[in-house]
Amino acid sequence: MAEIIFIGLSLSSILLLVALGLAITYGAMGVINMAHGELVMAGAYVTVLSGIWLHLNIIAAIPLAFLVTALIGYLIERLVVRRLYGRLLDTLLATWGVAILIQQAVRLEFGLSFFGRHIAGLGVGLQNVTVPEALTGAITIGGVQVNAFRAFIIGVTVVLTFATWLLMYRSSFGVQVRAIMRNPNMAAACGINVQRVNALTFAYGSGLAGVAGVMMSGFKTVFPDMGTPMVVDGFLVVAAGGVGSLLGTILSAGLLGQINGIVASVTNDILARAMVFAVVILIIVLKPRGLFSYRGR
Amino acid sequence: MNTTRRSILKASALSAAGTLASPYFFHRTAQAADVIKVGVLFSQTGGLSIIEKSLADATLMAISEINATGGVLGKQIQPIVEDGASDPKTFNEKASKLVIQDKVPTVFACYTSASRKAVLPVFERRANLLFYPTYYEGFECSKNVVYTGAVPNQQLSNFIPWIIKTLGKKKFFIVGSNYIYPREMAKVCKVLIEQNGGQWVADEYLELGDSEWGSMVNKIKSSGCDVVLSNVVGDSVVAFYREFKNQGLSHAKLPICATVTSEIEIAAMGPEYAVGSFTSFPYFMAIDTDANKQFVERYRAFVKNPKAVTHHALESSYFQVFLWKQAVAKAGEAMPIPIRNAVMGQEFNAPNGHVKIEPANLHTWLTPRIAEWQADGQGKIIDTYPAPIMPLPYVAYGETEKNLFCTGKGLDTAKLKG
Amino acid sequence: MPAALTIDGIGVDFSGVKAVDGVSMVIEEGELRVLLGANGAGKTTLMDLISGKTKSTQGQVFLYDTEITNWEEPAIARAGLGRKFQIPSVFKELTVRRNLEVASCHNPRVFANLGFGLPRAARRRLDEVLALTGLTAQAETIAGTLSHGETQWLELGLLIVQNPRVLLLDEPTAGMTAAETHRTAEIIKDLRGSHTILVVEHDMAFVREIAERITVMHLGQVLAEGDIASIESDARVRAAYLGSRGIG
Amino acid sequence: MDAKRRLDYATYAVFIALIMCAPLVLEEFWLNRIAKFLVYGMLGVAASLCWGYAGILNLGQGLFFGLGAYMMAMSLKLASPTSLQQGSDKPVPDFMLWNAEPGAPTDLCCINRGSFLWLPFQHQWFGVMMGLLVPVVVAAGLGWVMFRKRIAGVFVSIITLALVLLVRLVLIDAQPLTNGFNGLTDLGYLTIGGFEFDPYSAATYYLVASALSLSLILARMLVETRAGLILQAIRDDQNRVRYLGFDVPVYQIFFFAVSAAIGGIAGILYVVVADFASPTFLDLTFSITMVIWAAVGGRGSLLGACIGAILINTIEARVSETEGFLQAWRAIIGLIFVLVVLFLPRGLAGLANDAGEWLTGRLGGGRRRATAPRVASSE
Between the alpha carbon of residue C68 and those of residues C6, C30, C49, C106, C175, the distances in Å are: 10, 19, 10, 20, 32
Read off φ and ψ for residue B51, nearest 5 degrees.
Answer: -100, -40
pLDDT bucket at B1, cuts 50 / 70 / 90: very low
> Which CATH fold topology does A2-109+143-286 show?
ABC transporter involved in vitamin B12 uptake, BtuC (1.10.3470)
C248: in domain: no
Domains identified in chain B, total number:
2
pLDDT, tens digit, 9 for 90 and up, residues D113-123: 888 999 999 99
Report the alpha-carbon distance of residue A70 to residue A178 in Å, rounded: 20
The rounded mean pLDDT for chain D is 88
Among candidates A83, A89, A280 on the partner chain, residue whose Cβ is nearest the Cβ of D342 = A83
Q: Which residues of C touch D379 (CB under 8 A)?
A: 134
**Residue D185 to residue B118, Cβ atoms within 8 A:** yes
Region of poorest pLDDT, from B61-75, C135-149, D365-379: D365-379
Q: Do B97 and D33 count as a contact with CB atoms less than 8 A apart? A: yes
- Tell me what pLDDT residue D82 has: 80
Residue C47: what pLDDT? 92
Q: Enumerate neighbours of D (3 or more CB pairs within 8 A).
A: A, B, C
What part of C 169-188 touches D (C-beta under 8 Å)? none
Partner B, chain D 332-371, Cβ-Cβ below 8 Å: none
The domain segmentation of chain A, as residue ranges, is 2-109+143-286
CATH number of the domain within which C118 lies: 3.40.50.300
Residues B189 and B140 in one domain: no
What's the pLDDT at B19? 34
Mean pLDDT of the region D276-281: 93
Q: How many CB pairs under 8 A join C and D?
A: 107
Q: What's the whole-number average pLDDT of chain B? A: 87
Q: At what angle do helices B214-222 and A246-266 cross, to 10 degrees?
A: 30
Which pLDDT score is estimated for D85?
A: 61
D253 Cα to chain C: minimum distance (Å): 10
Give tens-digit pLDDT for A99-130. Answer: 999 998 888 888 777 777 777 778 777 888 88
Closest residue of chain D to C150, computed from CA coordinates: D377
Q: Which of A133-147, C155-169, D231-245, D299-313 has the lowest mean pLDDT?
A: A133-147
- Asked if residue B15 belongs to a domain, the reply is no
> Where residue A294 falls among pLDDT bands split at 50, 70, 90?
low
Q: What span, in angstroms and rounded, lies between the C-alpha atoms of C89 and B62?
A: 69
**Taking CB atoms and an 8 Å limit, are D200 and B21 in contact across chains?**
yes
**Residue B18 in domain:** no
Note the pLDDT tens digit of each residue in A73-95. 999 999 999 888 877 788 888 99
By C-alpha distance, the chain D residue nearest C111 is D227
Say how far apart CA C3 and CA C31 lie, in whole Å. 9
Which whole number is the average pLDDT over B228-235? 89
D4, D356 Cβ separation under 8 angstroms: yes
Please report whether residue B8 resides in a domain.
no
Which helix (H) or strand (E) segment is B321 a member of?
Answer: helix B312-331
Contacts of C185 (CB under 8 A, 6+ apart): C173, C206, C209, C210
Nearest CB neighbour to B183, from listed D82, D175, D274: D175
CB contact under 8 A, A223 and B247: no
Residues in chain A, overall count: 297
Mutate to test the interface with A, among B215, B218, B240 (most CBs of A within 10 A): B215
The band of B24, judged by pLDDT with boundaries at 50, 70 and 90, is: very low
B79 and B126 together in one domain: yes
Q: What is the DSSP string of D19-80?
A: HHHGGGT--HHHHHHHHHHHHHHHHHHHHIIIIIIT----TTHHHHHHHHHHHHHHHHHHTS
Domain shared by B353 and B224, yes or no: no
Mean pLDDT, to the nearest integer, of D137-163?
92
Could you tell me if A239 lies within 8 Å of chain D, comparing CB atoms?
A: yes
* CA dist., res. C60 & res. C67, Å (int): 7
Lowest mean pLDDT segment, chosen from B172-176, C92-96, D92-96, D262-266: D92-96
Q: Residue D157: what residue type?
A: S
Kindly report which listed range (B219-223, C28-32, D79-83) carries the lowest average pLDDT score. D79-83
pLDDT for residue D364 is more than 70: no
pTM for the predicted model, two decimal places: 0.91
Are C74 and D226 in contact (CB < 8 Å)?
no
Domain enclosing residue B131, as ranges: 30-150+301-365
**How confident is the model over C174-182, as a mean pLDDT?**
87
The CATH number of residue B38's host domain is: 3.40.50.2300
Touching chains C and B? (3+ Cβ pairs < 8 A): no
Taking 80 as the threshold, does the pLDDT of residue D162 lie above it? Answer: yes
In sequence order, the 6+-apart residues with CB closer than 8 A to the CB of A144 are A2, A3, A6
Identify the residue among A15, A128, A139, A217 best suited for mutation to test binding to B, counting B beta carbons within 10 A and taking the highest: A128
Chain D residues within 8 A of A114 when measuring between CB atoms: 328
A-chain CB neighbours of B50 within 8 Å are: 124-126, 223
What is d(CA B228, CA B222) in angstroms, rounded to the nearest whole number? 13
Q: How many domains does chain C have?
A: 1
- The confidence score (pLDDT) of residue D1 equals 54
pLDDT above 90 (res A160): yes
Residue B286 pLDDT > 80, yes or no? yes
A touches B (3+ CB pairs < 8 Å)?
yes
Please judge whether C93 and D370 are an interchain contact, meaning their C-beta atoms are less than 8 angstroms apart.
Answer: no
The answer to whether position C179 is within a domain reads yes
From chain B, the residues in CB contact with A131 under 8 A are 242, 270
Tell me if residue B131 falls in helix, strand or coil.
strand
Measured CA to CA in angstroms, residue D158 lies from A239, B356, B377, C245 at distances of 8, 52, 42, 46
Q: What is the pLDDT of residues D315-356, one digit of tens each?
A: 988 888 887 777 788 888 889 889 998 888 888 888 888 887
What is the DSSP track for B77-117? EEEEEEE-TT-HHHHHHHHHIIIIIS--S-EEE-SSHHHHH
Model pLDDT for residues A7-51, shown as the tens digit of each residue? 899 999 999 999 999 988 887 788 889 999 999 999 999 999 998
B190-216 pLDDT, tens digit per residue, is 989 999 999 999 999 998 878 889 889
Q: Answer yes or no: are the C-beta atoms of C86 and C201 closer than 8 Å.
A: no
Per-range mean pLDDT, top range of B10-24, C221-235, D207-221: D207-221
Portion 160-199 of B in contact with A at CB < 8 A: 178
High-pLDDT (> 90) share of chain D, %: 60
Tell me which of A203-212, B1-10, B92-101, B343-352 is least confident.
B1-10
Neighbours of chain B (3+ CB pairs under 8 A): A, D
pLDDT recorded at residue A293: 64
ipTM, 2 dp: 0.89
Partner-chain contact A288 D155, CB within 8 Å:
yes
Probe site for chain A from D142, D342, D346 (most A CB atoms < 10 A): D342
Query: CA of D202 to nearest chain B CA: how many angstroms apart?
Result: 5
Are residues B345 and B392 both part of a single domain? no
**pLDDT confidence of residue B14:** 38
Residue C205: domain span? 3-243
Measure C76 CA to nearest chain D CA, in Å: 7
Q: How high does pLDDT run on average in chain A?
A: 88
Instruction: Give the confidence band of A185 by pLDDT, cuts at 50, 70, 90.
Output: confident
Answer yes or no: is pLDDT of B302 > 80.
Answer: yes
